[in-house]
Structure 1
């Protein structure tokens, strides 16, 4: 997997498509977790997602 190619792909998406990508990732991992509540990959994804959301909200609060 080439992460640079993935970054390029993300960067070339129209701005309104970014939420769709996140929603699809969420749904994919949510389905995996429904099949196996102990799926380590899904648990890491949701942990990291929670961390990023928390950090982003804190940064946005500090800017106000």
Structure 2
């Protein structure tokens, strides 16, 4: 499956949680430290990612900086 692209909308360095706004205009996707692969995300960064359904909603994983 082809990865999605988007921009980091918000990311809290302390909690390791945030949101990515997909370029396709869909709903924001949650991201956490686990899904970010250890990258230090910042608002506005362009990223590619895959999505996974978890019990608490849809999360980004395999996040890579573009």
Larger radius of gyration: 1
TM-score (ref. length: structure 1): 0.21
Which fold has the larger relative contact order, with Cα–Cα distance below 8 Å and residues 6 or more apart in sequence? 2
Q: Which structure has greater helix proportion?
A: 1
